[in-house]
């Protein structure tokens, strides 16, 4: 054999023996770690493997970890469902009457409980007063049964905005009884107050912890249906100094102060209800834009408009500040009527708005990170001469109703005329709100 080849074989054999010896020593002594395996100090055991529960020291479950978004940020999210105005016309009271002096509005809510069920928090606006013991009335002065409060709660709402133009329709006693009724139904509320002390204690806001995010709800109205609040001005959150006439002399100092106080109280998100604009106008007025820009400048993240009775556009709006920086907020200038039985054009069209709020737990910054809506429609069988169906008014999901007809399995109450009107209503909702937000 060649001497060089013989030497190479001897060296190779020696290396193999050394490697085998190292492996044998490692096995016998228990040394070495698998790649990625953590080392634990003496006396400590390794945590349970992924997917296996570890023993809990007590029955108290550990706190939920904040959501981590795909970008790796430490983010908490919350979902808020927003409904429009509940406008208590006489037809709704007639529909809800179940016996002498007893009312049940829950069937009229129709699909609404389903649409808000997945939200962490749900809010709406009451455009009426609730007061028992007298005749119930509608326009021009709304006075409705107190049982409406329990039905709002049963539908799944958590908070009611009472700062509408009809807040004083039953005068001071009506403000008190409305709030008493909401309290009895375990509904939070913002916008009206029984006493000066109550308003001062609240800071003219309602603070809610929504899935770990602190939300300050504020509410303002530009008018009171020309009902004076003489001697009890404190009872309502009014943002104009000429609320008995034009309602255009805006008290910006009040709103700035309220939002600043809400931030100082720890609000991550400031949510503002506004009763403003012209009834039946499908476009915001210049004053609505002016107020919206001011609120965003002061720090509002969400502005939800009412009073107009019809849908108006929604948008993410950005305002440039004096120092050149920018602030943004989501604005729906009018959600329109949630519950009503008005016959004016567009008054039967509304939406349930879904807002996603996000809080970056590392920076403390919070914002609106998702917006969508589901178009809804008040089906009114009186309009079609149908009087033998068992009901006349129901809130329906426009997409679902239209889909049932087009699938060949229409809902029982649907006729070709109702279907055509719903198709028209959906097109109007897209035109007025903006189709891009339709869920």
Q: How do residues 212-246 score in pLDDT, each as one tens digit? A: 999 999 999 999 999 999 999 999 999 999 999 99
Tens digit of pLDDT for each residue in 45-62?
333 333 332 333 333 344
Tens digit of pLDDT for each residue in 258-317?
999 999 999 999 999 999 999 999 999 999 999 999 999 999 999 999 999 999 999 999
Instruction: Quote the pLDDT of residue 427.
Output: 98
pTM for this structure? 0.84
User: Mapping DSSP to helix (H, G, I), strand (E, B) and coil, where does residue 47 land?
Assistant: coil
Residue 68 lies in a domain: no
Residue 196 pLDDT level (bands cut at 50, 70, 90): very high
Q: Provide the pairing of β-strand 102-103 with 121-127.
A: unpaired
Report the alpha-carbon distance of residue 282 to residue 336 in Å, rounded: 10
b/e 278-287 (16+ beta carbons within 10 angstroms → b): beeebebbeb
Report the alpha-carbon distance of residue 289 to residue 305 in Å, rounded: 11
Angle of helix 286-298 versus helix 252-264 axis, rounded to 10:
30
Dihedral sign for Cα 49, 50, 55, 58, please. Answer: positive
Beta bridge partners of 350: 376
Dihedral sign for Cα 133, 159, 96, 154, please. Answer: negative
Report the alpha-carbon distance of residue 135 to residue 128 in Å, rounded: 14
Instruction: Quote the pLDDT of residue 71.
Output: 52
User: Mapping DSSP to helix (H, G, I), strand (E, B) and coil, where does residue 238 land?
Assistant: strand
* Ramachandran area for residue 176 (φ above 0: left; ψ -120 to 50: alpha; else beta): alpha
**Contact between 331 and 303 (Cβ < 8 Å):** yes
Residue 294 lies in a domain: yes
| Total length of the chain | 439
Which phi and psi (to 5°) does residue 33 adopt? -130, 145
Instruction: Quote the pLDDT of residue 10.
Output: 41
How many Cβ atoms sit within 10 Å of the Cβ of residue 124?
27
Instruction: Name the residue range of residue 91's domain.
Output: 75-437
Residue 145 lies in a domain: yes
Beta bridge partners of 320: 326
What is the number of structural domains in the chain?
Answer: 1
* CATH for 364: 3.60.21.10
Lowest-pLDDT choice from 6-10, 111-115, 319-323: 6-10
Tens digit of pLDDT for each residue in 142-185?
999 999 999 999 999 999 999 999 999 999 999 999 999 999 99
Residues 6+ apart with CB under 8 A from 232: 172, 175
Tens digit of pLDDT for each residue in 94-145?
999 998 889 999 999 999 999 999 999 999 999 999 998 768 999 999 999 9
Q: How far is CA 38 from the centre of its chain?
A: 45
**Contact between 76 and 359 (Cβ < 8 Å):** yes
Residue 351 lies in a domain: yes
Residue 173 lies in a domain: yes
Residue 46 lies in a domain: no
Residue 64 lies in a domain: no
Report the alpha-carbon distance of residue 96 to residue 378 in Å, rounded: 15
Residue 65 lies in a domain: no
Instruction: Quote the pLDDT of residue 402.
Output: 98
How many Cβ atoms sit within 10 Å of the Cβ of residue 428?
19
**Contact between 227 and 286 (Cβ < 8 Å):** no
Tokens 């820009």 belong to residue: 293
Report the alpha-carbon distance of residue 4 to residue 122 in Å, rounded: 87
Rounded mean pLDDT of 199-217? Answer: 98
């Amino acid at each position: 054999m060649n001497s060089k080849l013989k030497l190479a074989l001897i060296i190779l054999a020696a290396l193999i023996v050394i490697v085998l010896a190292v492996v044998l020593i490692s096995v016998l002594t228990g040394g070495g770690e698998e790649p990625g395996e953590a080392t634990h100090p003496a006396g400590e055991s390794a945590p349970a493997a992924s997917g296996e529960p570890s023993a809990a020291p007590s029955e108290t479950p550990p706190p939920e970890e904040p959501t981590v978004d795909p970008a790796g940020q430490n983010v908490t999210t919350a979902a808020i469902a927003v409904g429009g105005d509940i406008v208590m016309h006489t037809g709704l009271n007639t529909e809800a009457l179940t016996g002498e002096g007893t009312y049940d509005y829950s069937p009229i809510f129709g699909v609404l409980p389903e649409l808000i069920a997945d939200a962490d928090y749900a809010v709406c606006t009451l455009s009426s007063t609730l007061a028992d013991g007298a005749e119930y009335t509608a326009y021009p002065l709304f006075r409705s049964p107190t049982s409406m409060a329990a039905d709002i709660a049963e539908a799944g709402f958590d908070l009611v905005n009472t700062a509408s133009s009809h807040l004083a329709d039953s005068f001071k006693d009506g403000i008190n009884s409305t709030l008493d009724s909401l309290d009895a139904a375990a509904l939070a509320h913002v916008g009206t107050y029984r006493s000066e002390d109550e308003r001062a204690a609240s800071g003219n806001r309602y603070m809610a912890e929504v899935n770990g995010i602190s939300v300050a709800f504020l509410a303002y109205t530009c008018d009171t249906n020309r009902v004076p609040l003489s001697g009890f001005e404190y009872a309502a959150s009014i943002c104009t100094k000429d609320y008995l006439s034009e309602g255009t002399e805006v008290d910006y100092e009040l709103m700035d102060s309220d939002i600043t106080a809400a931030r100082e109280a720890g609000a991550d998100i400031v949510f503002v209800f506004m009763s403003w604009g012209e009834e039946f106008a499908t476009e915001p007025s210049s004053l609505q834009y002016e107020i919206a820009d001011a609120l965003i400048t002061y720090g509002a993240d969400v502005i939800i408009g009412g009073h107009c009775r019809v849908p108006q556009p929604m948008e993410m709006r950005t305002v440039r500040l004096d120092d050149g920086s920018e602030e943004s907020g989501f604005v729906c200038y009018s959600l329109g009527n949630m519950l009503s039985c008005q016959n004016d054009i567009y008054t039967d069209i509304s939406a349930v708005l879904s807002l996603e709020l996000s809080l970056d737990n590392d920076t403390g910054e919070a914002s609106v990170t998702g917006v969508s809506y589901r178009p809804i429609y008040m089906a009114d069988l009186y309009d079609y001469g149908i009087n033998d169906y068992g009901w006349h008014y129901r809130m329906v999901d426009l997409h679902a109703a239209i889909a049932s007809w087009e699938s060949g399995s229409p809902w029982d109450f649907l006729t070709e005329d109702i279907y055509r009107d719903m198709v028209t209503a959906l097109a109007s909702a897209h035109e007025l709100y903006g189709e891009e937000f339709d869920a």
